[in-house]
Structure 1
């Protein structure tokens, strides 16, 4: 390493960084598993080599001089750059792992049934699914891709996977016992399965559904309430009532005959599921392959 015509040992700079960070030769020696005298000798040698005074010796410690402050900032920045570069290089050569953040419902009913296809196409990519039923915030988590239920404003700048398209769903047995259910008034008299939205979720719920469909009041006296959509769907399959079904989530259950969709009572909005690159500043071939696969699968629905 060349510095003003002098060769400075990277080890000397590493010792200087530790001493400057701790403002203590003793603490630096403890971190570096060395001795206080060895650290002091290395610092003295660096000062002589640079012809600069980097520390002022004070009672029970040291403090940085103006030159020491300047060098400390540059050395820390340099080491941070080296660490980032090494990490990026190692990521390219180790098996990539991608973290997907989504809600329980999307993971259970759309992503998991299709994920084996992605694994067969890309066996070298490890995928980890992180789920949450509430409002999803990918910014403060170690997430590469987020599949999030979005409002229409967010979807203007985000690839849209599904538009919110909802309709009542129930088991074939329930429909045979209580049907036919051909209008909203008849629907309002049925046992309804409700998904709680106590964290500000924006998806369609029964009160807004009845208001937008027919301008009638939601009959809250006849309902079972769940805080998990997977449990709600299991209750619908068991014939305990009518749930709200989202296109893209319940399609496979309808195709298999486990649920029946009341298509005549369908309602749509401008909201829907969007695909978000949680770390656009860190592109990778693995992440691009995953995003392309998700978009392709959604387009086939």
Structure 2
């Protein structure tokens, strides 16, 4: 049996948390609809159960001891975890939910245009989309499915959605003005749009592209630099230069003719988008989304 219930009263911990948060037995009593004396008795009983003081009684108030501060942090974390779990369970009881983590580019160019198809098929499932650009760890979040750009090593252990197939892309008007663009040497002379990568991202950049395709050094600074792929593509569509286009993301723009791909300069790498299970759970909603996603990309 755990200490809670056998040695420590759960109600006593609740009273302690309120008293520690307010640093006042009177304020805690008001919140708990109790009395100051009852709160004081509960706290003293908890101190006796633990065999250590949790508060120092000072003039017109109390303050936490070192042990009290440590317990307060743990109790708050525990209550917060319980509240998050109860909230998630209540939401799932009302409607099943799937929490999807992806980067802004995949969300904007692939997922959102196709998501109505999933929602039409599974109208009872609530979909929550969170974007992630690689600068922070996401594993402690309530993520059911992560759709992220991965290196070849990571992709070897997860379902692969898209291979990384990259080509230079530009607007038809830009090609008319500067074409033909039939060599890497000619490409390197033109205004190139660059994407800044944050730590943890694996996006191909222009120097790596030229190096991988022809062992060619590229040191010229980019004409424009973005930290958002959607903005980069909008600049390319507006005719301001050439960007790297990832197949799977910009297929719709190529099909509609707003972008032109330089097919002869296509590069494939071992990277790509992978489907990674998170720790959120998701149950049947996650499985239904996974099945739909693999059906659309397989």
Can you list the C-alpha shifts for 1:90-135, whole angstroms capped at 9, x where unaligned?
3442113333221121111111110111111111122222224444
After the TM superposition, which of the residue ranges 84-93 and 288-297 deviates more from structure 2? Answer: 84-93
Does structure 2 retain, via aligned residues, the 8 Å contact 1:25–1:40? yes
After the TM superposition, which of the residue ranges 112-121 and 290-299 deviates more from structure 2? Answer: 290-299
Aligned to 1:276: 276
Does structure 2 retain, via aligned residues, the 8 Å contact 1:164–1:273? yes
Aligned to 2:218, the other structure's residue is in SS state coil
Does 1:255 pair with 2:251?
no
CA distance in 1, matches of 2:118, 2:246: 23
For the aligned residue pairs, the C-alpha RMSD in angstroms reads 3.7
Residue 14 of structure 2, aligned match among 11, 18, 31 = 18
**Shift, 1:196, TM fit:** 1.4
Does structure 2 retain, via aligned residues, the 8 Å contact 1:133–1:228? no
**Shift, 1:173, TM fit:** 1.5
Does 1:90 pair with 2:86?
no
Written as runs of structure 1 = structure 2, the 5 A alignment for 1:113-132 is 113-132=113-132
TM-score by length of 1: 0.75
Does structure 1 retain, via aligned residues, the 8 Å contact 2:134–2:199? yes
TM-score by length of 2: 0.75
**Shift, 1:174, TM fit:** 1.4
Aligned to 2:286: 287
Does structure 2 retain, via aligned residues, the 8 Å contact 1:192–1:222? yes
Aligned to 1:108, the other structure's residue is in SS state helix
CA distance in 2, matches of 1:284, 1:267: 38
Does 1:189 pair with 2:189?
yes
Aligned to 1:220: 220
Aligned to 1:240: 240
**Shift, 1:88, TM fit:** 6.7
Can you list the C-alpha shifts for 1:264-283, whole angstroms capped at 9, x where unaligned?
11111111111112116x24
**Shift, 1:29, TM fit:** 3.7
Aligned to 1:18, the other structure's residue is in SS state helix
Change (3 A) 1:39 1:150: same
Q: Which runs of 5+ in 1 are unaligned?
A: 1-7, 47-52, 62-75
CA distance in 2, matches of 1:228, 1:188: 22
Written as runs of structure 1 = structure 2, the 5 A alignment for 1:57-206 is 90-135=90-135, 137-206=137-206
Which structure has the greater CA radius of gyration?
1
Change (3 A) 1:40 1:99: same
Change (3 A) 1:298 1:35: same
